[in-house]
Amino acid sequence: MKHMIPLLLCGVLPLATLAQASPSVSQEKESSQVVTTTLQALEQQQMKQQAQAWGLSVEEWERYEQLKQGRRGLLSPGLDPLTMLGIEARTDEERRHYAELTVKQDYQRVEAELAFQREVNDAWPRLFPGILPVQDDESRLALFVRAECPPCDRKLTQLLATNRPLDIYLVGSGGKDEAVRAWAKKHNIPADKVKSRRITLNHDGGKWLKYGNGLMPVVLQQEGNGWQPAN
């Protein structure tokens, strides 16, 4: 019997070792589950934030993600969520919903851009009196026009055809953004060029009286000795 005790102990030790190892394996599994749960919560939170940024529900965002991975995503990979959901709308009501969301957000964007442009325009005479704003280093033209002015319309068409960077100043707008928007819409000013600031829409703010020499329309160009007529 005395000789059997070491043998029994030898058989018990591995079991004890396994018993000690079991909590470690269990802890690793629990830690992995905690990490997975945390990541899932973060993904859900991120999805919710992205959906809210576009005025969408989480369910609508999930459908957008599905469409992005499908045929529409391959055909049109650069579509924004509202456009993709609108194109792939399942009902007329859905299509109308996304169209209205798009219009509302575009309106807010244009309002913000015009407000910022107005602040930029106001900053120029405040910081650099007597100098007409220069938008960038490329040779831009400044076009001063009025509403209901056929010669202005002809000059606008001519300049748009050249594809040169253009800063348009609407004389007589009274500082009203709605007047500028209505004029731009009536004259089919390319929205993509306005968005990229290839074309800017501005209130005159008295600049025409200072630089226009009574001409209407008048086109100015930056030269070595300042802004000069380019008609």
Q: What pLDDT, in 10s, does the model give residues 144-176?
A: 999 999 999 999 999 998 888 999 999 988 888
Is 87 part of any domain? no
Is 129 part of any domain? no
> How much of the chain is in helix, strand and coil states, percent to nearest 5?
60, 10, 25
pTM (whole model) above 0.85: no
Is 197 part of any domain? yes
For the cut 60, the answer to whether the pLDDT of residue 108 exceeds it is yes
pLDDT digits (tens, 9 = 90+) for 190-201: 988 888 888 999
Contact 153, 217 (CB under 8 A): no
For the cut 90, the answer to whether the pLDDT of residue 20 exceeds it is no
For the cut 80, the answer to whether the pLDDT of residue 114 exceeds it is no
Is 200 part of any domain? yes
Section 204-222 average pLDDT: 83
Two tokens, residue 14: 């591995």
Range of the domain at 147: 141-229
Query: What is the residue whose two structure tokens read 């009902």?
Result: 91
Residue 199: which H helix or E strand, with range? strand 199-203
Is 157 part of any domain? yes
Is 117 part of any domain? no
Residue 85: which H helix or E strand, with range? helix 81-87
115 or 39, which is more confident? 115
pLDDT at 61: 94
Is 209 part of any domain? yes
The count of structural domains within the chain is 1
d(Cα 157, Cα 193) in Å, to the nearest integer?
15
- Strand 218-223: give its sheet, edge to edge: 199-203, 166-171, 141-146, 218-223, 226-229
d(Cα 182, Cα 62) in Å, to the nearest integer?
37
Is 174 part of any domain? yes
Please state, as a whole number, how many other Cβ atoms lie within 10 Å of the Cβ of residue 174. 9
Section 120-143 average pLDDT: 73
Report the mean per-residue pLDDT for the chain: 80
Residues 6+ apart with CB under 8 A from 142: 132, 166, 167, 169, 211, 219, 220, 221, 227
pLDDT at 31: 64
Contact 152, 186 (CB under 8 A): no
Section 119-139 average pLDDT: 71
